[in-house]
Amino acid sequence: MLSNLAGDEKRTSLHGHWSSRMAFILAVTGSAVGLGNIWKFPYMAGQNGGGAFVLVYLVCVVVIGMPVMMSEILIGRRGRRNPVATMELLGREEGSSVHWRVVGAMGVLAGILILSYYSMIAGWTLAYIGKSASSSFAGASATAVAAHFGEFVGDWKTVVFWHTIFMSLCVFVVARGVERGLEQAVRFMVPALLILMLVLLGYSISTGFFSQGVAFMFTADFDKLGWGGVLAALGQAFFTLSIGMGAIMAYGAYLPEETSITGSAAAVVTADTSIAILAGLAIFPLVFANGLDPAEGPGLVFQTLPLAFGQMPGGVFFSTIFFVLLAFAAWTSAIGLMEPGVAFIVEQYHRTRAQATIIVGGLIWFIGLGSALSFNVLKDTKFLAGTFFDNVDYLTSNIMLPLGGLLITIFAGWVMCRNSTSDELGGSGSLYSAWRILARFIAPIGILFVLINAVT
């Protein structure tokens, strides 16, 4: 059925627009680049065949990540509303069902739940800025650093305090609106993040272990890349771009009509992947220079790296730089996660943006208390997947995000008519044809593999 905008082809967002294509790219890149880019991608690459994993990851980004991101952006720009209202509006216009709003609601809820525990971990990075600057890790042993971390997360008052500080920073930015808040923040923080990454990279090159770090990440060993490694690359390609949680759809609603969705998505994917690779090149030479284990996973950030920085010249300065970098990465991701819920409250309940931000921020903060207490007071209270934190993490990462991404791609590829999608993606040439094939067939199959692997 041909889409009919009923004379509303110039539909505009109630929240304003990005001032430029670059502002949008910075915003989406900031949303995509998070704590996972800093430690998870390089760690997974090193443990799954290095260059072999990177190659599979890049293929997955192009054939799955890109089409899903483009689908989410075009849906957002077509609807110009919050994710719930956009999916309902387009479902009706495309002759389908208003019940597609459930997909938008799931994205909004996923963002709220993810940010509830993400804020807690981001609060840790804020605390570690001060700890690094005050030389807390200078000359400390591995036992002392581990004990310091255990004592820190074991104090519920301290964890809740930093969780509160981080959420307050997010509320401050989001409450200021699209151009005065979100755009101004990412225009500063994303370039600053890149500069800090390059400073750390330069320092890593000077350690004399840079070639060892490069070999760890990029030496292609296909014997180490089993089926599990392929699925890991597929999952990482999907999750690293922040797709399936409403943030990209909400940001797409503020994208000017003349801006190319294909070009913008390609720029974001390139930036996101480049930062993940830079992170590995900056981090692993430091790990090898101190004879530490690069396979620490999450512990790499709060235990292994502070130990490494504590043993090297200039470690206090560069450790502080590293945790500032992490805080910026977390902050830019967090405001993207928060935006869909705020837009929904503003439109659905006619609240001011400041009121909506306080409501959503307060809800996220309250839910986050469960995760904050999961490492101390409630650490022995376990059900289903484990602690409260474990359950929220499992529900969002393993079920809600891949399911949301799958349904968004199906909606764009199968429910929206060719006229609607080609209008948003700029014509019917070879790039559009490639997107249509990937969105209708390849990406959904790939996401199904991720979903099935996650729940079995």
Say yes or no to pLDDT of 383 above 80.
yes
Say yes or no to pLDDT of 5 above 70.
no
113: Cα within 13 Å, side-chain hemisphere = 22
Instruction: Please state, for a pLDDT cut of 70, what percent of the chain lies above it.
Output: 96
The pLDDT value given to residue 6: 41
Say yes or no to pLDDT of 244 above 90.
no
Say yes or no to pLDDT of 332 above 50.
yes
The pLDDT value given to residue 7: 38
Q: Got the DSSP string for 271-319?
A: HHHHHHHHHHHHHHHHHHHTT--TT-TTHIIIIIHHHHHHTSTTHHHHH
383 beta partners: 386
- Exposure string for 99-122, b = 16+ CB within 10 A, e = fewer: ebbebbbbbbbbbbbbbbbbbbbb
Instruction: Residue 319: name the closest of 124, 118, 131, 38 by CA.
Output: 131
Q: Of 68-72, 88-92, 189-193, 368-372, which range is least confident? A: 189-193
Q: Got the DSSP string for 8-42?
A: -TT---TT---SSHHHHHHHHHHHH-SHHHHHHHH
Instruction: Residue 222: name the closest of 60, 52, 58, 41 by CA.
Output: 52
| Secondary structure class of 448 (helix, strand, coil) | helix
Band of residue 1 on the pLDDT scale cut at 50, 70, 90: very low
Q: Of 62-71, 139-148, 233-242, which range is least confident? A: 233-242
Q: What is the mean pLDDT of residues 95-105?
A: 97
Given a contact cutoff of 8 angstroms between Cβ atoms, the answer to whether 244 and 408 are in contact is: yes
Q: Residue 199: is it exposed, middle or buried by C-beta count within 10 angstroms (0-12/13-18/19+)?
A: middle
Q: Residue 211: is it exposed, middle or buried by C-beta count within 10 angstroms (0-12/13-18/19+)?
A: exposed
| Secondary structure class of 127 (helix, strand, coil) | helix
Mean pLDDT, the chain, integer: 91
- Which tens digits make up the pLDDT trace of 350-371? 999 999 999 999 999 999 999 9
Q: What is the mean pLDDT of residues 154-160?
A: 97
Q: Sketch out the chain's domains with CATH numbers.
A: 47-455 (1.10.4160)
Say yes or no to pLDDT of 108 above 80.
yes
Say yes or no to pLDDT of 292 above 80.
no
What's the pTM?
A: 0.93
